[in-house]
């Protein structure tokens, strides 16, 4: 196996990809990135998940934080705030601004997001082919209480970053997904893949949003190649972030087994859970998904590469007749 397709969100997906690149240095890796988190700020188009993958694999990421640029400064943000221009809750640094300026300029000149992403990657050389899930506008919205007994939809970033997912989410809606089409290269990459991998990314607002683009789920189900995922839930809680909140919104308990069932045996052939969730293996296999318990904490590159090797071994195993 040497051609892999990975459906990725931001931090979890990006870190896993570093391990996969290490585990399979000669592989051709196509990353289908979530763009449902994209937001327009200060007139600029910001693609947080694509950029997290690009910066992480290209060596420009703020390592501890997991997103944004290393050695970042915030002069532009401070100057904007001095004009009273917000939002102040979304951290855009000076270096990061340059990426969004280039992207917005190219889009205004008529380039689709896929072409823009390719151009940005010329600088970063991430060692994978990074494709947005779609060139169309898809925006994840979250339905929350409006404080007046009713409900209102807010942009995912407002729910996630400003509200820190601390208010109940009643629904997660990928606005525009139904009318969107996969970006050029996405379906071709799936058709040519030896295996499709779901990294430990958010099952609802990252992988789920990518699967909501008409044609992508069907292409993966019909490609006839092993589909293997790694649980982002360890010991009944997300490793970092607030994935449990959006899982609750779609009625899925925050357990490794429930997430596997949410994807379902029609989509998923293999599932890795952490060793602390050993007892989930039986339940997942009873659902018709091959399951193994292995260490799933991406503590360093070696540990992450070992996870990638386990995922590839499971893919080989489920592919065997």
Shortest CA distance to 133 belongs to which of 222, 233, 201, 55? Answer: 201
Residue closer to Ca ion, measured from CB, 37 or 96: 37
Q: How many residues bind Ca ion (CB under 5 A)?
A: 4
Contact status: 297 vs ligand GDP (CB under 6 A): yes
- Min. distance of Cβ 160 from Ca ion in angstroms? 8
Binding residues among 266-285 for ligand GDP as defined by CB under 6 A: none
CB 227 within 8 A of CB 220: yes
Q: Which of 2, 170, 240, 282 binds ligand GDP (CB under 6 A)?
A: 240
Residues 34-73 interacting with ligand GDP (rule: CB under 6 A): 49
Q: Are 183 and 113 in contact (CB under 8 A)?
A: yes
Supply the minimum distance, in Å, between the C-beta of residue 232 and ligand GDP.
4
**Binding flag, residue 96, ligand GDP (CB under 6 A):** no
H helix runs in the chain, sequence order: 11-23, 48-58, 75-82, 94-108, 113-124, 156-157, 186-192, 207-211, 216-222, 243-249, 256-263, 280-286, 301-319
Question: Between helices 301-319 and 11-23, what is the axis angle to 10°?
Answer: 80
Check residue 132 for interaction with ligand GDP (CB under 6 A).
Answer: no
What the block records as the tokens of 228 is 């293997």
- Which x/- pattern, by CB under 5 A, does the window 18-57 give for Ca ion? -------------------x-----------x--------
Q: Give the span between the Cα atoms of 256 and 233, in whole angstroms.
A: 5
* Least Å from the CB of residue 296 to ligand GDP: 4
Residues that bind ligand GDP (CB under 6 A): 8-13, 49, 200-202, 206, 230-232, 234, 238-241, 243, 296-298
């Amino acid at each position: 196996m040497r051609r892999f397709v990975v459906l990725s969100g931001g931090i979890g997906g990006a870190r896993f990809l570093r391990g996969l690149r290490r585990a399979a240095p000669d592989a051709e890796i196509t990353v289908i990135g979530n763009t449902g988190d994209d937001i327009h700020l200060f007139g600029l188009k910001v693609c947080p998940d694509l950029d997290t993958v690009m910066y992480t694999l290209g060596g420009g990421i703020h390592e501890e934080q997991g997103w944004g640029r290393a050695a970042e400064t915030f002069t532009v943000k401070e100057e904007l705030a001095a004009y009273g221009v917000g939002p102040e809750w979304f951290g855009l640094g000076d270096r990061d601004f340059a990426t969004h300026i280039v992207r917005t300029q190219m889009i205004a000149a008529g380039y689709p997001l896929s072409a823009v992403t390719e151009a940005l990657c010329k600088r970063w050389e991430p060692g994978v082919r990074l494709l947005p899930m779609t060139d169309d506008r898809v925006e994840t919205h979250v339905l929350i209480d409006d404080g007046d007994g009713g409900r209102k939809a807010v942009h995912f970033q407002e729910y996630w970053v400003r509200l820190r997912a601390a208010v109940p989410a009643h629904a997660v809606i990928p606005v525009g997904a139904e009318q969107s089409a996969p970006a050029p290269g996405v379906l071709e990459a799936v058709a040519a893949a030896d295996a499709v991998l779901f990294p430990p990314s958010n099952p609802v607002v990252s992988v789920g949003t990518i699967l909501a683009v008409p044609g992508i789920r069907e292409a993966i189900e019909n490609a006839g190649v092993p589909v293997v995922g790694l649980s982002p839930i360890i010991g009944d809680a997300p490793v970092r972030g607030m994935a449990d909140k959006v899982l609750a919104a779609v009625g899925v308990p925050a357990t490794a087994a429930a997430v596997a069932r949410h994807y379902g045996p029609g989509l998923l052939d293999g599932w890795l859970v952490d060793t602390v969730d050993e007892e989930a293996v039986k339940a997942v296999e009873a659902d018709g998904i091959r399951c193994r318990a292995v260490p799933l904490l991406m503590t360093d590159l070696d540990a992450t590469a070992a996870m990638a090797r386990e995922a590839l071994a499971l893919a080989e195993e489920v592919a065997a007749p």
